[in-house]
Amino acid sequence: MKYSFHPEAEAEFVQAIEYYEECEPGLGHDFAVEVHSAIQRTMAYPKAWPLLENDIRRSFAKRFPYGILYVEEDEEILIVAVMHLHRTPGYWKHRKRSS
């Protein structure tokens, strides 16, 4: 199984890495590692996390208050959002499933 990011999800992931790196050198790297670990768990067990809305599921990053929102499409995981858990819920709903 492979994965891809919706363009807006990829942008918010990069912005979060930059934010954490500005807070403390190396923290952005740690954040990226945690998100990629969550994505790997998601790819290994795509149905392990409950449905959030329709066919969107959410897994969680460890150490950081982020959820990875995704949809399983054929043999691919599409990352719809890399969402800060304290951000306005539902901001990602306008995103289309194709990149």
pLDDT in tens, 52-95: 888 999 999 999 999 999 999 888 999 999 999 987 766 677 67
The confidence score (pLDDT) of residue 99 equals 41
Structural domain spans, the chain = 2-84
Whole-angstrom Cα distance, residue 47 to residue 54? Answer: 13
Spatial CA neighbour of 55 closest among 77, 39, 70: 70
Query: For the domain bounded by 2-84, which CATH number is listed?
Result: 3.30.2310.20
- The pTM score is 0.86
| Mean pLDDT across the chain | 91
Q: What is the pLDDT of residue 86?
A: 87
State which H helix or E strand residue 70 sits in. Answer: strand 66-73
**Is the model's pLDDT at 48 over the cut of 80?**
yes
Edge to edge, the sheet with strand 2-5 lists 2-5, 76-84, 66-73, 56-60, 51-53
